[in-house]
Structure 1
Amino acid sequence: MMPSPVQGKHPRTTPLSPAIPDGTDHLSSLPVEMTEEILRRLSLDDAVRTSALAKPWRYRWAECPGFKLVFVAEDPPAAVDAVLAGYACNVSYAQLDVAPESNGKVDGWIRALAAKGIRCLVLCFTLVLSMRWLPVPASLFSCRELTSLLLKSCEIPALRSSSDGFPNLLALELDDVNFWENGQKTFEALIARSPLLRSLRIMFPSINGEDDGGNYSEWTIRAPNLRILSMGAWQDCGWRLDDLPLIEEACIHLEGNELPRILPALTRVENLSVEITGDTILERLSYFMNLKCLSFHTIFTKSSTLLSMFCILRNAPNVEGLHITVLHENEESIEVNMELPNAQGTVGLFSRLNHFCLKGIMGHTNELQFIKFLMSKATVLEEIEIYVHDDSPMSIEVVSDELSQYKKASLQAGIIVNRYVDYNNIDETDDDEEP
């Protein structure tokens, strides 16, 4: 699996501090290799402070290859300038947490990193509620050696037609970013000009000029070497996927209407996570022959979501692990009678399933019917995990008794029933209550 750009993020949370006033001479005899290994294990501010330990250590950090440059928002801009100017090696990893008052310095910092062959860059902007997204300088596109890039809470500039993009980029992560008007074309071009891209994560983007009424411009992600894909959005951004011949893993958490455009390109995945909440019913999908692990986040009280879930299950004959998290709408949902597939449509369904996990059930008829149906079909099932929602009117004991009465196609299948607490929906007023 390709690493996310944020993996290996340095834990430093305090600003750069001045050098310590005293030193010890006995440190001067350490071999260069040992000195560099010590420096690489230190945070940035501690590494800079080693200049005061002894004369041979003075500016040794600046000549230590592979050092991670991590700057927090509280760092004085002058200190960042000094470190970037003083570091003499190529930069393998840099993280810039940018405070609003330092926005004017970002262009110079990126240019300095580009000159040092920056390979992995994490660029996060601190937003103030009254401010818009801060723009990333166009100098970002001069970082041609980048192999990993994470951008968070910022605005993506337009890509010039003469730009080559990122020819060496392997991993790209965009979190809460905004594209200028018609920016989806910028993103389309950016991906197309990153021919080696293997991992792409884009979460909750927005595009100037688009609205919530479905008036979007369609655009296509073309990444023939992509292996890992994560997509999440609050609205339909108009995206499509070109064929992804090497795709192995995908996490698609969208509103639902985009799924008919997205899923056909993912039929080669081995691991798939899908959120199904919209009213669009999936049908006529291709087979997911490589799919081994399948996860759903869905609503069990809507017929459209249940039918879409069965559509994927019918077309995934080799699934061995099935994990479902039940989502609950704020308003009280009207329970529907689940339309189970007819006998003809269930041939081979769950034939290789050995592990099933269902989280967050309330004890609704649809949830229990689905469990009963699955248990009656899965002939090699070994383990069933059921997590009863903390707000469910049914106790764990009642659910356990109910499940024990269901016929099991696999006699060796063990059933585990536990409590499930949805921490995302805990009311803030409960913070002071006793556990």
Structure 2
Amino acid sequence: MAVKFPHNGEIQLEAIINASPLLNTLTLSYVDTRSEAFPGWVIGGANLRSLTIVSNDNHGWQVAELPNLHEGTINLEYCDNFSDFGGLLAGLAQARKLTLNKCYPSFTEDHILETLACTFDNLKSLTLWTHFEEMPTILSTFCMLRNAPNLEELDIMQMGSFRMQNGPTACVPTFKLCD
């Protein structure tokens, strides 16, 4: 089902989400807001356990502290402009399972995520869609891993135009981190 919001409708959606204390699962898939003047909206919810954002556009997503977040999925594969990916990640710091699609330098304005202001102490499982075509991308991946000290399962999926010689698009296999 497609939902289109009226001008400044995201303000109303933000208010509805924040006024729903029993909300435990939120999926925002291709939410279409018409206002480009809106600086961003905050996704909150003290009892939110699962958050999924899939979008082609930068809607200024901000995530408030989500103390009960178990699982987060951020899929911005076709979004070419995102202002604060590190800030968005910081809002997901309590998650136990994360799936991130597109967090490489063209997306982070060539800033390495080395200044990520949070650690993912609860994170046990990470699926990361990225590419390793440039050094900032590799360093951003290492930063994310460094900030997840209790990670037990890691899936890294190769994106982009990198091709193995005479072969299909490369896909990095699943890594299992063990004690």
TM-score, normalized by length of structure 1?
0.35
Letter in 2 for 1:265: G
Cα 1:220/1:391, change in 2 over 3 Å: closer
* Residue 253 (structure 1) aligned to one of 75, 92, 96: 75
Indicate how the Cα distance of structure 1 residues 267 and 389 shifts in structure 2: closer, same or farther if over 3 A, else same: farther
Q: Residue 302 and residue 186 in structure 1: after superposition, are their counterparts in 2 closer, same or farther (change >3 A)?
A: farther
Match of residue 284 from structure 1: 116
Whether 1:239 aligns to 2:43 is no
Residue aligned with 1:179, SS: coil
Q: Which runs of 5+ in 2 are unaligned?
A: 171-176
| Residue 209 of structure 1: how far off its partner (Å) | 3.0
Separation (CA, whole Å) in 2 of partners of 1:192 and 1:181: 20
> Distance in 1 between the 2:87 and 2:63 partners?
7
Given that residues 70 and 97 in structure 2 are in contact (C-alpha distance below 8 angstroms), is that contact kept between their aligned partners in structure 1? yes
Structure 1: unaligned runs, 5 residues or longer:
1-151, 155-177, 330-360, 365-387, 393-409, 411-435
Amino acid paired to 1:324: I
Deviations 1:207-236 (A, max 9, x none): 1132xxxx5422111211000111111121
**C-alpha distance in 1 between matches for 2:40 and 2:138:** 27
Structure 1 pair 279–259 and aligned structure 2 pair: CA distance change class (3 A): closer
C-alpha displacement of 1:252: 0.9
Contact 1:295–1:322 (Cα < 8 Å) also in 2: yes
SS at match of 1:266: coil
Residue aligning to 2:163: 362
Cα pair 1:288 1:316 within 8 Å, conserved = yes
Distance in structure 2 (CA, Å) of the matches to 1:209 and 1:228: 26
Cα distance change of structure 1 residues 240 and 217 upon mapping to structure 2, 3 Å threshold: same
Q: How does 1:14-413 map to 2 (within 5 A)?
A: 152-154=1-3, 178-210=4-36, 216-254=38-76, 255=79, 256-275=82-101, 276-277=103-104, 278-280=107-109, 281-282=112-113, 283-329=115-161, 362-363=163-164, 390-391=168-169
Which is higher, the Rg of structure 1 or of structure 2? 1
CA apart distance, 1:273: 0.8
Secondary structure of the residue that 1:287 maps to in structure 2? coil
- Report the structure, 1 or 2, having the larger helix content: 1
Aligned residue number for residue 173 of structure 2 = none
Report the Cα distance in structure 2 between the residues aligned to 1:246 and 1:321, rounded to whole angstroms.
20
**Are the counterparts in 2 of residues 285 and 312 from structure 1 also a CA contact under 8 Å?**
no
Specify the code of the residue in structure 2 equivalent to 1:322.
Answer: L
Could you say what the CA RMSD is over the residues aligned between the two structures, in angstroms? 2.3
| TM-score, scaled relative to structure 2 | 0.80
Question: How far apart in 2 are the matches of 1:312 and 1:199?
Answer: 25
Compare 256-265 and 181-190 and name the one that shifted more. 256-265
Task: Describe the shift of the 1:391–1:208 C-alpha distance in structure 2 as closer, same or farther (beyond 3 A).
Answer: closer
The CA distance in 2 between the partners of 1:181 and 1:299, in whole Å, is 37
Structure 2 counterpart of 1:268, one-letter code: Q
Equivalent position amino acid for 2:48 in 1: L
1:389: how far off? Answer: 5.8
Considering Cα pairs closer than 8 Å and 6+ residues apart, tell me whether 1 or 2 has the greater RCO: 2
- Paired residues in the alignment total 161
- 1:197/1:226 contact within 8 Å kept: yes
Q: Structure 2: which amino acid aligns with 1:153?
A: A
